[in-house]
Amino acid sequence: MKRIYVQMSSFVKGRKAAGPVGISIILGLLSFMPRLLIVTFLSKTPEPPLEWWQTSVIYQVYPRSFQDSNGDGVGDLQGIRSRLDHLEYINARALWLSPMYESPMRDFGYDPSNITNIDPIFGTMEDFDELLADVHSRGMKMILDFIPNHTSDLHKWFQASKAGVEEYKDYYVWTDGNLTANGTRVPPNNWKSFFGDSAWEWVEERQQFYLHQFLKEQPDLNYRNPKVVEEMTNALRFWLERGVDGFRIDAVLTMFESADLSLNEPLNNRPGAELWQYESLEHIYTSHQPETYEVIAKWRHLADEYYQKDGNYRFLVTEAYCETIQQAMYYYHTGADMPFNFDLVFLNRTCGGDCVDRAISNWMTNMPIGKWPNWVIGNHDNKRIATKMGTEFVNAMNTLLLLLPGTPTTYNGEELGLTNIEVSYEDTQDPFGKRFGPERYHEVSRDPPRSPMLWDSTHSSGFSNATKTWLPVHPDYEIFNAEAQRKAEGVTPLKMYRDLSLLRQEATFQRGTFKPLLVDENIYSFVRELEGESLYYVILNFGSTEAQVDLAEQGLPENGLVKLNSGDFHHSDYNVGKEIKLNKISLNPGQFLVIKYDV
């Protein structure tokens, strides 16, 4: 049984109060050391107040799929504005808005042609300002998706660069490539795009190749050009001036590549990866280059400028799917408040208590001292958790998300327990899915978790009055929609999510210690504790069989009060508000208990 003890005060971002010099030196020396067993942080100085991003649930809104206000079958900004009551209902205090920038939509906004303007499909800048004002009027915060690695090939910068206009000539990564014996120009190396095949595209007009680590319509910016860094910093400043509260920085791992374009990346011999696929190479020259961290530090400095002006903290979170935990942890040292933690995203039904423990411990034991943890169970690029784990585990997964220490991020619809939809190849929108053709598109398409949000039992579940929506509406919308779940008797995923989110506001979950208890092939359990506050035990069954749990053996009190349960017990033994004995708890797969003990 693994035991980890972490004092939450060690995670507090100390920007308002500095600790003793001696402790600072020690923390600096220990920052890269794994803490495999026990981590504690002792301080007699008052703890600084938590920032908003530490106390909030971050709620990701995918604009195309949230709410359509004008009947074109695509969600928009006014639609989001009309649904802010939902965020308040689930106690989500920060809205992360996926791209709404001007774009030809080859990758649905992640290919911006103007990163300081709103695409007409989503509305106008006035619509954005009204949405932001409404968010702030409710005491909530807005985080924008910022896309630094590339632009659309229709961006005015790329059009000028392609034409050889001197001012923009080096805004992107260009090369002559190599000349073969027969006089043909070929790419300078074997680098692959995320979408497969060469990351280089020939431009006849310029007689050179340009780099694109994603679609060929998404040329990579050249951050070795100081003008590019300045342009993108100014784009951040544009949105900060409008009043946004932070940024999710997309695909940071690919912002820089080796300056030596002659270097080939080695094969990794990954089973099942074909040579044309990105996954076939070790990306030692095209990802996690040290210069990336310097640019993020520059953006942290910019965000802090605004923090100093008005006292409103500007939040930065990085998105990078890393090969090693050490790569992920390094982003904590760049000035980002945290790198997204995707360890829970990849859980599936083969994962029991031991497996869940490994995923959580992997982050907690490697995280640098003084940094803040975070958890994600789903997003617009990955299968929904109900599809991966099974619908009976939705409430258990949201319990982990919301009651573990740190900041939780929820993708719209996960609070409803939505599953992926089926999308035919003919209806497929995702360019990555299309790349694999009708035989294999279903293996990789990102469309299934992007289906429209389910609001009620009316036409298109209240998402749109259009005849056809951009992606099909979930066929079970009459069961899973938000209105039905709010009104239903008993526990639903939505009502459970709300209860968990409200419970998370208690001081014990905001600042308390975290200690795993009994962990085995079925059970994952932990305790949250804070001096002078209620103590909580959380016990979950992630296994495939019924499990008997004796928490008294763990040195806990004999009795405790049921604060929450998974709602699927067929007896009254574990009813909320009932005092139970802790020496014989029985849980079926997917069931959990949150037990309160007043010290």
Which residues, 6 or more positions from 500, have their beta carbon under 8 angstroms from its beta carbon?
A: 398, 399, 402, 403, 564
Quote the tokens at residue 216: 């060929």
Q: Choose the catalytic residue: 250, 337, 430, 506.
A: 250
Q: For residue 34, count CB atoms less than 10 angstroms from its CB and return exposed for 0-12, middle for 13-18, buried for 19 or more.
A: middle
Give yes or no for a contact between 253 and 321, defined as CB atoms under 8 angstroms apart.
Answer: yes
Pairwise CA distance, residues 491 & 6, whole Å: 32
CA distance 71 to 586: 50
Three-state DSSP state, 187: coil
Q: Which residues of 340-349 are buried (b: 16+ CB within 10 A; e: fewer)?
A: bbbbbbebee
Q: Please enumerate in sequence order all residues whose Cβ is within 8 A of that of 513, keeping only pairs 6 or more positions apart, or say none.
A: 5, 6, 7, 8, 527, 528, 529, 530
Angle (nearest 5°) at CA 443 between 441 and 445: 55
Whose structure tokens read 């509260």? 245
Return the DSSP state at 63: G
Count of Cβ atoms closer than 10 Å to residue 278 Cβ: 18
250 carries an active-site annotation:
yes
From CA 337, how far away is CA 317, in angstroms rounded? Answer: 6
Distances from the Cα of 466 to the Cαs of 162, 200, 363, 462, 478, in angstroms?
Answer: 39, 40, 44, 10, 18
Q: Which of 107, 119, 220, 319 is catalytic?
A: 319
Residue of 539, 530, 544, 527 whose CA lies nearest to 585: 539
Q: What is the distance between the alpha carbons of residues 423 and 445, in angstroms, rounded to a whole number? A: 9
- Provide the 8-state DSSP code for 235: H
Give the span between the Cα atoms of 470 and 485, in whole angstroms.
25
Q: How far apart are CA 143 and CA 521, in angstroms?
A: 38
For residue 584, what are the contacts with CB-CB under 8 A and spacing of at least 6? 548, 549, 550
Extract the runs of DSSP E, i.e. beta strands, from 100-188.
101-102, 114-118, 141-146, 174-175, 178-179, 185-186
Strands, sheet with 374-376, edge to edge from the N-terminal-most edge strand: 338-339, 315-318, 246-249, 141-146, 94-97, 58-61, 407-411, 374-376
Active-site residues: which are they? 250, 319
